[in-house]
Amino acid sequence: MLKIDKINVYYGAIHAIKGISLEVNQGQIVTLIGANGAGKSTILRTISGLLKPKDGSIHFEGKSIAGIPAQNIVKLGVSQVPEGRRVFADMTVLENLELGAYVRSDKKGIQEDMETVFQRFPRLKERVAQLAGTLSGGEQQMLAMGRALMSRPRLLLLDEPSMGLAPLLVKEIFSIIKDINATGTTILLVEQNANMALSIANQAYVLETGRITLAGSAKELAASEEVRKAYLGG
């Protein structure tokens, strides 16, 4: 579904991503794990069109998307839940969700997806008229995920969904991610909580200073002594 081949990405003079290649197959949950500053978020931002690779290729469902404007990538079926949630604080829950569907014009489908989001996140329905900036961190994460789902993506990019959340909420969010995947959405997950990420993923990549140092099934990486020492607290 997604194939990245030897991309290099720079922030000015800083070489952030160094010749990375990776693949995401349809129906999978693939996770990128690594320390802060390893380049995980940069990869997602490059896929979603917010950054442009200097060279290399990115193909989504066989179509080259490197350098395409971000809104066109959303139209193709790729949606991102950004790190730090980035909800529109001065807009209501409903308005945030409606904005998630801005590339669509099928009113009936939008209404159906809105109902699905409310079934998945009942707390959002209770707070539908509330300003997004007044929600708790966990509720904002749910809203950011709901907003991304409103574009009806086939590939969902999740950037640090557990960041800053209480352990109980982290479990809830990861349970929802599994549910979203089970209903047919492919997921590329960037996550510092390596234990949780590897527990739900099919495939995994370890990123260190802009390079992939390990790749394999999530089970293999969870069992790897190297990964356990570096990321799993053992």
Mean pLDDT for 221-233 is: 87
3-state SS class at 13: coil
In what order do the strands lie in the sheet containing 14-24?
A: 14-24, 2-11, 55-60, 63-64
pLDDT tens-digit map of 51-72: 999 999 999 999 999 989 999 9
Residue with tokens 């801005």, as numbered in its chain: 102
Q: What is the predicted pLDDT for the residue at 104?
A: 87
pLDDT tens-digit map of 89-147: 999 999 999 999 998 899 999 999 999 999 999 999 999 999 999 999 889 999 999 99
CA distance 40 to 126: 34
**pLDDT class for 232, splitting at 50, 70, 90?**
confident
Mean pLDDT for 168-196 is: 93
Residue pair 65/59 in contact (Cβ under 8 Å)? The answer is yes
Give per-residue burial for 188-222: e unless 16+ CB within 10 Å, then b: bbbbbbbebbbebbbbbbbbeebebebbeebeebb
pLDDT tens-digit map of 4-53: 999 999 999 999 999 999 999 999 999 999 988 899 999 999 999 999 99
Q: What is the predicted pLDDT for the residue at 127?
A: 94
State the average pLDDT for the chain: 94
pTM of the model: 0.93
**pLDDT class for 234, splitting at 50, 70, 90?**
low
Phi-psi region of 91 (alpha: psi -120 to 50; beta: other; left: phi over 0): beta
**pLDDT class for 199, splitting at 50, 70, 90?**
very high
